[in-house]
Amino acid sequence: MPDRILLGSAPRPTDGTLLAKRIRKLMIAAEPARIECTAHIEAVLDGPDIARLDLDLTGYVLGDEHDRDRSRIEPQGAPVASEEGVLRDLRVHAAPMRVSGADVTLDLALQGVPVRWIDTDAGELAVELGDPSGDRPVHGSLRLSVPEQQLGDAVRALAEPLLQEHGVHLSRLDLELEAITPRQIRIHADAKVRKGLLGASAHGSATATVDDAMGLVLSDIRLDSGNPLVAAMLAVARGRIQGLEGQRFDLATELPPGISVEDVRVAVDRDVVIEARLA
């Protein structure tokens, strides 16, 4: 997601219906296939504040990042004026939407998100999501679910562009998640990779645990391949990854000021379900 999002021509709309139309055009521009956007969008404006924004994205197809023409969703001009506001109440629902080849069911509620309206020297209007602060925190909740059988394809679609930069092609990725407790999951991964003429399967697994203080600990990390050459190639990566064994990553301190995760839960059945609550 770009820092600044293009919303047509300046000045900013003063009516929620006009803002909804501009958001619809943005969503069409963000989808490489340029399909018709059937999402339900409702907005209420109160001066520079967005009093309410409801998005029902059921059926929407979001393409991969590298497929997008960023000039269609980002302003090209330089900022010449800005106006501060607040997105007081954001509701996003999808049952489901398509993201990187996966059916994602989503319910998101956020309150108190800072926004900045920006006019550019090219006559454009852009909006920028500002940073919350300790004095003006963001509150809300999230529930997201993805069919487990589709999770590997979705992660692969996101990881492939990064791996290709290093000359590695990921042709297959199967993920299996096992919920040990609501805050502990065991992750198993089987992948088929290729680098040049060398191709083989690789296997990995790890246990991820989130504690009461929102700290993430990885344990029992394994990474290997049945192919001796690929296993040797993975040896350096395995050493670095296994160096994370037992380390605690404080998720709370990694978040910007004004965003605090109060609780997170994971469940695995046919779907992988993640629920989180912001304090």
Report how far apart the first and last C-alpha atoms of the chain are (Å, whole number): 24
Quote the distance between the C-alpha of residue 27 and its chain's center: 16
What is this structure's pTM? 0.77
pLDDT score of 170: 79
pLDDT score of 14: 94
C-alpha distances (whole Å) from 241 to each of 61, 173, 220, 221, 224 are 34, 18, 11, 8, 12
Per-residue model confidence as pLDDT tens for the chain (279 residues): 567 899 999 999 999 999 999 998 888 877 655 556 678 999 999 999 999 999 999 988 876 555 555 667 889 999 999 999 999 999 999 999 988 778 999 999 999 999 999 999 999 999 998 877 777 888 999 999 999 888 877 777 777 776 677 677 777 888 888 889 999 999 988 888 777 777 778 888 889 898 877 788 888 888 777 777 667 766 666 666 667 788 887 776 666 667 778 888 889 888 999 998 887
| DSSP secondary structure string for all residues of the chain | --SEEEEEESS--SSHHHHHHHHHHHHHHHSTT------EEEEEEETTEEEEEEEE-TT-EEPPGGGS-GGGTS--SPEEEEEEEEEEEEEEEEEEEEETTEEEEEEEEEEEEEEEEEEETTSEEEEEE----SSS--EEEEEEEEEHHHHHHHHHHHHHHHHHTTT-EEEEEEEEEEEEETTEEEEEEEEEEEETTEEEEEEEEEEEEE-TTSEEEEEEEEEE-SSHHHHHHHHHHHHHHHTTTT-EEEHHHHSPTT--EEEEEEEESSEEEEEEEE-
pLDDT score of 98: 86
| 44, β-bridge pairs | 52
| DSSP secondary structure string for all residues of 89-156 | EEEEEEEEEEETTEEEEEEEEEEEEEEEEEEETTSEEEEEE----SSS--EEEEEEEEEHHHHHHHHH
Q: Look at residues 46, 66, 51, 1 and name the one whose alpha carbon lies nearest to residue 27.
A: 1
pLDDT score of 59: 87
Distance CA 209, CA 218 (A): 7
pLDDT score of 131: 78
User: Which residues make Cβ contacts (< 8 Å) with residue 233, sequence separation at least 6?
Assistant: 195, 198
